[in-house]
Structure 1
Amino acid sequence: MKSKINIYIAISAFCVFLGRAIQHLVWDAPFRTLLWDEQLLKGPVENILGIDWFDYVTSPIADQWINTSVTAFGILYLLAAFSILLLHKGGFFKSVGLKLQVVGAIGLLFLAFLYSKEKFMQIGQLLEYSAQFTAPVFLWYVISNKEKEFPVFFAKCVIALTFICHGLYAVGFYPVPGKFIDMTIATLGVSENTSKDLLFAAGVIDFIVAAGIFLPKIQKPMLAYMIVWGTLTSVARLTGHFHLDFLGNTLLQWLPAVILRAPHALLPLVIFLQVNDSKESKSLKLSLPKLKGGVEVAH
């Protein structure tokens, strides 16, 4: 069972890195939300670099450096993704691969911060990416600590945060993203008002399942829902923007968005398998016949 869990964790981390690599290498990432922040950087740019702020933000050279930074992160994610395929070889490949998982996870956390900054530092935006930036951390942990149990409670906290923060946007605690509404309309063919109602209901369910996974008696159906819903919301990125006439561009732009959300379904699956395995182990232990002295009979 442990080997199966490790495979799912590896797939999860691989998908996040591959999806983000394509995003950074083909499209873009929100680096400018930080590097063009006048309130934050005008002082250092003018006083330390000696460059007028307007010249800095309109400079083709500065813009090229930003593009190069985005590309560099894309290469990092690509290396981190493919290093996962070589972890089983051990030695140098394992050592470098594990280091890339940690560095890549830090990069993903930085990216989550940038997306949060784009939305005026909404903490919900940052933590919505919890399952993504921790996926490589889980892989690093299970490879580095083979004798230890998978950290189920921590994993539950991570996926709960992901669902709660998604729910905060769906119910309107934060402004409901237009892309949520558009994807629902495009996927289900409903009206805008119906789309908002469905999103609100989905958000409420997000809160319920996020709490439910911590209750032993109902955790398995709650996790099962997360697996299904995590899969559907990931695929919705493609179905909600699908244009047959522009199939190539559609797949290139939106398939990575599906892939990088793999942890939203795979992490609940890993927790489900771990919980199920633990229950079966306990049941087996309790069912073993014992001698009067309490010593289990050998089979």
Structure 2
Amino acid sequence: MRHLYGIKLLKITTFFVFIGRAYQLIFWDAPYRSLLWDEKLLSPLLELLFNVEWQNYVISLDNDFYIQRLIQFNGVFFLICAILCLLVKSYSFKIVKTAIFFGGFLLVVLALLEAKSKFFVFAMFFEHTIQFSLPFILLYYLKHKEIYKLITPLKVVIALTFLCHGLFALGELLPLPASFVTITMNILGTTEETTIRLLFVAAVLDFIIVIGLFIPKIIKYILLYAIFWGFITAIARVLSEFIYSFSLLTMHQTFYETVFRLSHGLVPLLLYYILNFKNMFNTGDKIIN
């Protein structure tokens, strides 16, 4: 029954994504205003359907209050989805699976809004592939109950995430995010020039991960590095901003980012675990859970 640990790991990883995002939306913010304050998109609709002028809409404190409540309501729903991911079984009521599916859809919407807030740099969207794909991968397993069928989907979502992360870190095809530079400088204490060079090396290693995932002879070694790199980049979100004298405040501000990014290390770990038992799974053994 050791292979059941793989399913538990999948559930826990999906839980971390939902609970991290729930904390963000309940206590902080999300880029919903990049859509709800888009004048070109919404102004014609407001004037045509509700006879509301754009200026009155954007300066209304009531409207901003409702937007914030909508974000928090979404956070509460993510919290419910997080709990459901731990409890869901293949024979669970359809409403439970539907809730997880809708939660996954809202993660996709959130990733799209984050890309929109960054001027539609869609690498930003695909960098979140691991996170928003997990609810659907969990539901896919619950339907088919054959864990080895997850190998290809997991390879694809890992590859897309690390590819986009590498494109940003490369600093050539896409603008190098200031957060990448700041986090690295704060942790390593390097100069800006040295940091940019280190990020270039990290980008090359990200591309090696993408290629190595589809080379059977080296995939396990590639996954070991991906596990390490995924956890390091997640933990860096807390370490780079941590101030000992304000430890509770800095944890409140940054720890949720680490929580949902733990999936970047846990999903490669899940794939590594599955590959170690591939011979068992290829017998067609179905795992009911």
Q: Which TM class, normalised by the smaller chain length? A: over 0.9
Q: How does 1:262-281 map to 2 (within 5 A)?
A: 262-278=262-278
Cα pair 1:36 1:57 within 8 Å, conserved:
yes
TM-score (norm 2): 0.93
By how many angstroms is 1:99 displaced? 1.9
Distance 1:147 1:231, change over 3 A: closer
The answer to whether the aligner puts 1:2 opposite 2:7 as a matched pair is: no
Distance 1:15 1:148, change over 3 A: closer
The answer to whether the aligner puts 1:108 opposite 2:107 as a matched pair is: yes
Distance 1:147 1:195, change over 3 A: closer
Mean Cα deviation higher: 128-137 or 243-252:
243-252
Equivalent residue, structure 1, for 2:166: 167
Q: How does 1:163-242 map to 2 (within 5 A)?
A: 163-172=162-171, 173-242=173-242
Give the letter for the 1:61 counterpart: D
Cα pair 2:148 2:278 within 8 Å, conserved:
no
Equivalent residue, structure 1, for 2:25: 24
Equivalent residue, structure 2, for 1:77: 78
Mean Cα deviation higher: 14-23 or 47-56:
47-56
Cα pair 2:11 2:138 within 8 Å, conserved:
yes
CA distance in 1: counterparts of 2:146 and 2:205, whole angstroms: 36
Cα pair 2:131 2:263 within 8 Å, conserved:
yes
Distance 1:91 1:279, change over 3 A: closer
Give the letter for the 1:185 counterpart: M
The answer to whether the aligner puts 1:260 opposite 2:263 as a matched pair is: no
Q: How does 1:89-104 map to 2 (within 5 A)?
A: 91-92=92-93, 95-104=94-103
Q: Secondary structure at the match of 2:241?
A: coil
CA distance in 1: counterparts of 2:263 and 2:15, whole angstroms: 10
Equivalent residue, structure 2, for 1:125: 124
CA distance in 2: counterparts of 1:260 and 1:236, whole angstroms: 13
Residues 60-81 of structure 1, C-alpha deviations (whole Å, 9 max, x = no match):
1211121121011101100001
Cα-Cα RMSD: 1.8
Give the letter for the 1:21 counterpart: A
Q: Secondary structure at the match of 2:277?
A: helix
Cα pair 1:86 1:97 within 8 Å, conserved:
no
CA distance in 1: counterparts of 2:221 and 2:98, whole angstroms: 36
Residues 264-287 of structure 1, C-alpha deviations (whole Å, 9 max, x = no match):
1111111111122125778x9xxx
By how many angstroms is 1:123 displaced? 1.5
Give the letter for the 2:64 counterpart: D
Residues 194-234 of structure 1, C-alpha deviations (whole Å, 9 max, x = no match):
11111111011101111111011111111111000000000
Give the letter for the 1:219 counterpart: I
By how many angstroms is 1:2 displaced? 3.1
Give the letter for the 1:245 counterpart: S
Cα pair 2:13 2:266 within 8 Å, conserved:
yes
By how many angstroms is 1:90 displaced? 5.4
Gaps of 5+ in 2: 284-289
CA distance in 2: counterparts of 1:220 and 1:148, whole angstroms: 17
Give the letter for the 1:277 counterpart: F
Give the letter for the 1:156 counterpart: K
CA distance in 1: counterparts of 2:88 and 2:180, whole angstroms: 37
Residues 139-164 of structure 1, C-alpha deviations (whole Å, 9 max, x = no match):
21222322463321121011100000
Aligned length: 281
Aligned-residue sequence identity (percent) comes to: 36
CA distance in 1: counterparts of 2:271 and 2:130, whole angstroms: 13
Q: Post-superposition, which runs of at least 4 consecutive aligned residues in structure 1 deviate over 6 A?
A: none
Equivalent residue, structure 2, for 1:140: 139
